């Protein structure tokens, strides 16, 4: 390899998932030449093995559950889901795992795509090993943005790889419904995939090490989702760990720490995520391979003025929308610094500081019922030292909820900061609440005073009237 082979750009982005794409979009829009390196498919985990396929699998499940709760309609939707049609729609939605559309989009914004594995080779240098084994050196005049995302983390169980367990990749791309599926884990991926595959015809057993589901949310979220999953026919075992797992004549055999033996056709480990940083040359710039990359609010890696880490890889909030938000900010910060501006996040609009990451992250769990939350839970707010009070509302008391579904079941919590009289967090659980959470995000991120919230009048008869009930409950 000679120096003449090095190609210079203003910005080099490693990883063309949703986050890398958005960094490139912003730097290109600012007139900076940008190369983007991708080792698999442009569009990343989200498009092919995460958000898109999982939501395509869940949409008919949720729509059918909603329809079954509407008098006059429920009789027409009592049958099973058409699993082959659902899987075929999922395949369409993931563009059959082809990235032509997204490659075209990259071309449209004028970013240069390099197919292959990108590795740092010292400050501002990235070596790309292409599919043909050929190496190219890219040099960044201003910034390298690491957007390599995360992968499923498997537990350390002897012989696990040999039994070909499902991770989120297989759970979102499987072409057949397994007869029996064991799901290990109680977080978002576990409950969403348990919901989808149970409704598609699998008999699901959920093994959860902790006390309940969705441990990062208010406790009632996990309780309501657990109740519904059980009603749907899934078996839920909490306080249960996997001791060993083998495959005998094709059948998965799980032995739990209680000594129980469970047989299944497939086993999904939804047991967390690990950063994709083990082989990206971090050691060449003094960082530890395999680690999450800590960043400041402009997404710059601590101690490196040219290196950014954006999206899952920095471990701030492992969500596409939050990663894309960071990407917009990182892109703006790179452009500002390239043009000599300070970009220290001091502008009133905070264009270069990802402040929402700290206390206003929204998340929707696409189960039946849906669970949606933004900001801090009561426990988190107390831990952070805020003096807060939580008010709860039974969603069945809201007129719009009664219209939405017969026998509507759900709950809402608003966590109010008693010093500043603003909302620190909101959690909503119930059918249809996913589309409501943005109202709470505006209240939390905007730090809207409770006294003003009374003047944000929700339409009648919508589930949004929960806001009135929450304010009334707070006023007492
Ligand atoms: C089952 C599941 C469902 C989810 N559902 C949702 C949802 O509904 N909503 C939501 O907001 N979030 C969801 N998420 C989270 C979401 O998928 C991630 O937050 C998002 O994909 C992160 O985007 P990213 O660009 O940081 O990383 P990724 O999407 O992981 O993209 C990283 C890209 O970098 C590439 N790459 C890695 N290493 C290299 C290298 N050395 N050289 C070149 N390229 C490299 C990868 O091939 C990949 O294309 C879900 C996650 C899972 C697992």
Q: What is the 3-state secondary structure (H, E, C) of 83-147?
A: HHHHHHHHHHHCHHHCCHHHHHHHHHHCCEEEECEEEECCCCEEEEECCCCCEEEEEEEEEEEEC
Please give the pLDDT value at position 349.
44
According to DSSP, the β-strands at 266-269 and 180-184 are parallel
In the chain, the percentage of residues whose pLDDT exceeds 70 is 97
Give the H/E segment covering residue 38.
Answer: strand 34-38
Task: Please choose, from the candidates 303, 269, 268, the residue with its C-alpha nearest in 3D space to the C-alpha of residue 177.
Answer: 268
Q: Kindly indicate the confidence band of residue 1, based on its pLDDT and cuts at 50, 70 and 90.
A: very low
- The predicted model gives 414-441 an average pLDDT of 98
Q: Is the pLDDT of residue 347 over 70?
A: no
Beta carbons within 8 Å of 453's beta carbon, 6+ residues apart? 423, 443, 467, 471
Q: Which domains does the chain have, with CATH numbers?
A: 4-43+99-151+275-356 (3.50.50.60), 161-271 (3.50.50.60), 369-475 (3.30.390.30)
d(CA 241, ligand 1 centre) in Å: 27
- The Cα–Cα gap between 52 and 172 comes to 9
- The predicted model gives 90-113 an average pLDDT of 98
Give the H/E segment covering residue 337.
Answer: helix 320-338
Ligand 1 atom with the smallest distance to the CA of 168 is 1
Whether the Cβ atoms of residue 147 and residue 13 lie closer than 8 Å to each other: yes
pTM over 0.85: yes
Q: Name which residue sits closest to atom 2 of ligand 1, judged by CA.
A: 50
Q: Kindly indicate the confidence band of residue 350, based on its pLDDT and cuts at 50, 70 and 90.
A: low
14 lines ligand 1 (CB under 6 A): yes
Q: Is the pLDDT of residue 135 over 90?
A: yes
Q: Name which residue sits closest to atom 53 of ligand 1, judged by CA.
A: 50
Please give the pLDDT value at position 348.
41
Ligand 1 atom with the smallest distance to the CA of 150 is 30
Q: Name which residue sits closest to atom 48 of ligand 1, judged by CA.
A: 44
Q: Kindly indicate the confidence band of residue 340, based on its pLDDT and cuts at 50, 70 and 90.
A: confident
The residue assigned the tokens 């970009």 is 343
Given ligand 1 and candidates 46, 130, 189, which is best to mutate, with the most ligand atoms within 8 Å of its CB? 46
pLDDT in tens, 255-307: 999 999 999 999 999 999 999 999 999 999 999 999 999 999 999 999 999 99
Whether the Cβ atoms of residue 250 and residue 242 lie closer than 8 Å to each other: no
> DSSP letter string over 43-98?
THHHHHHSHHHHHHHHHHHHHHHHHTTSTTTGGGG-SPP-HHHHHHHHHHHTGGG-
pLDDT in tens, 2-31: 444 799 999 999 999 999 999 999 999 999
Please give the pLDDT value at position 159.
85
401 lines ligand 1 (CB under 6 A): no
Please give the pLDDT value at position 289.
98
Q: Can you read off the two tokens belonging to residue 281?
A: 């040359």
Please give the pLDDT value at position 5.
72
Q: What is the DSSP letter of 311?
A: G
Please give the pLDDT value at position 352.
80
């Amino acid at each position: 390899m000679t120096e003449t082979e090095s190609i210079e750009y203003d910005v080099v982005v490693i990883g063309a998932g949703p986050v890398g794409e958005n960094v490139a979009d912003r730097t290109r829009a600012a007139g900076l030449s940008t190369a983007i390196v991708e080792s698999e498919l442009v569009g990343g985990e989200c498009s092919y093995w995460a958000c898109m396929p999982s939501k395509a699998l869940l949409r008919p499940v949720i729509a059918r559950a909603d329809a079954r709760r509407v008098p006059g309609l429920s009789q027409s939707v009592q049958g099973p889901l058409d699993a082959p049609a659902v899987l075929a729609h999922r395949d369409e939605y993931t563009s059959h795992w082809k990235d032509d559309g997204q490659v075209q989009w990259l071309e449209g914004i004028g970013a240069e795509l390099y197919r292959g594995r990108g590795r740092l080779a010292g400050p501002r240098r990235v070596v790309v090993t292409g599919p043909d084994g050929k190496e190219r050196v890219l040099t960044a005049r201003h910034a390298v943005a690491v957007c390599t995302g995360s992968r499923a983390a498997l537990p350390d169980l002897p012989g696990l790889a040999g039994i070909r367990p499902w991770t989120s990749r297989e759970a979102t791309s499987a072409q057949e419904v397994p007869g029996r599926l064991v799901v290990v884990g109680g977080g978002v991926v576990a409950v969403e995939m348990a919901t989808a595959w149970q409704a598609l015809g699998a008999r699901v057993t959920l093994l959860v090490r902790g006390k309940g589901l969705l441990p990062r949310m208010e406790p009632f979220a996990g309780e309501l989702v657990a109740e519904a999953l059980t009603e749907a026919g899934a078996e839920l075992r909490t306080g249960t760990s996997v001791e060993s797992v083998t495959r005998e004549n094709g059948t998965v055999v799980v032995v739990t720490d209680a000594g129980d033996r469970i047989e299944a056709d497939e086993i999904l480990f939804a047991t967390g995520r690990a950063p994709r940083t083990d082989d990206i040359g971090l050691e060449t710039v003094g960082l530890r391979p395999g680690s999450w990359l800590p960043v400041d609010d402009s997404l710059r890696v601590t101690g490196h003025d040219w290196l950014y880490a954006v999206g899952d890889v920095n471990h701030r909030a492992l969500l596409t929308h939050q990663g894309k938000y960071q990407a917009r900010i990182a892109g703006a910060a790179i452009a500002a610094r390239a043009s000599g501006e300070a970009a220290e996040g001091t502008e009133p609009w905070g264009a270069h500081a990802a402040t929402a990451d700290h206390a206003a992250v929204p998340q929707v769990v696409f189960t039946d019922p849906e669970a949606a939350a933004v900001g801090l839970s009561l426990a988190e707010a107390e831990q952070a030292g805020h003096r807060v009070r939580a008010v709860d509302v039974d969603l069945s008391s809201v007129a719009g909820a009664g219209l939405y579904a017969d026998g509507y079941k759900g709950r809402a919590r608003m966590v109010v900061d008693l010093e500043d009289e603003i909302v620190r967090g909101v959690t909503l659980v119930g059918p249809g609440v996913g589309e409501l959470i943005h109202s709470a995000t505006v209240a939390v991120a905007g730090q809207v005073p409770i006294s003003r919230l009374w003047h944000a009048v929700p339409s009648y008869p919508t589930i949004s009237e929960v806001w009135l009930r929450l304010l009334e409950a707070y006023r007492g």
